[in-house]
Amino acid sequence: MDPELTKFLLSNDEKLVQGYYPKVFSRIQGPALTLQGASHCALHELANLSVSSSTVQKLHVETVQEHFLTSLESWRHQAAVLDAQHDFKEV
């Protein structure tokens, strides 16, 4: 389908085309699925903001970095790095 036509149809707050979801989806997604117009746009924007890369980065980078550094530190205290390829050649 033509991208311009798709954008036109889907950006008219369901004046031209109204979406339909089976009841199973409605039960799984809850009321968020049945929102239309401005309410849908506001919820969609909120959901996107909560998972945007900058938000995720601010919330989780420090935690990931701490785990990464802890792992590196634990490897430092091991007696030696195993050379599996060399060990298997000897067998």
Max Cα separation, the chain?
Answer: 74
C-alpha–C-alpha distance, residues 35 and 14, integer Å: 11
pLDDT score, position 13: 66
Task: Write phi, then psi, for 24 (nearest 5 degrees).
Answer: -60, -45
C-alpha–C-alpha distance, residues 51 and 40, integer Å: 17
Task: Please tell me the total count of domains within the chain.
Answer: 1
Which segment, 10-24, 45-59, 62-76, is predicted with the most confidence on average? 62-76
pTM comes to: 0.31
Q: Which residue range is the domain that position 20 belongs to? A: 3-90
pLDDT score, position 62: 85
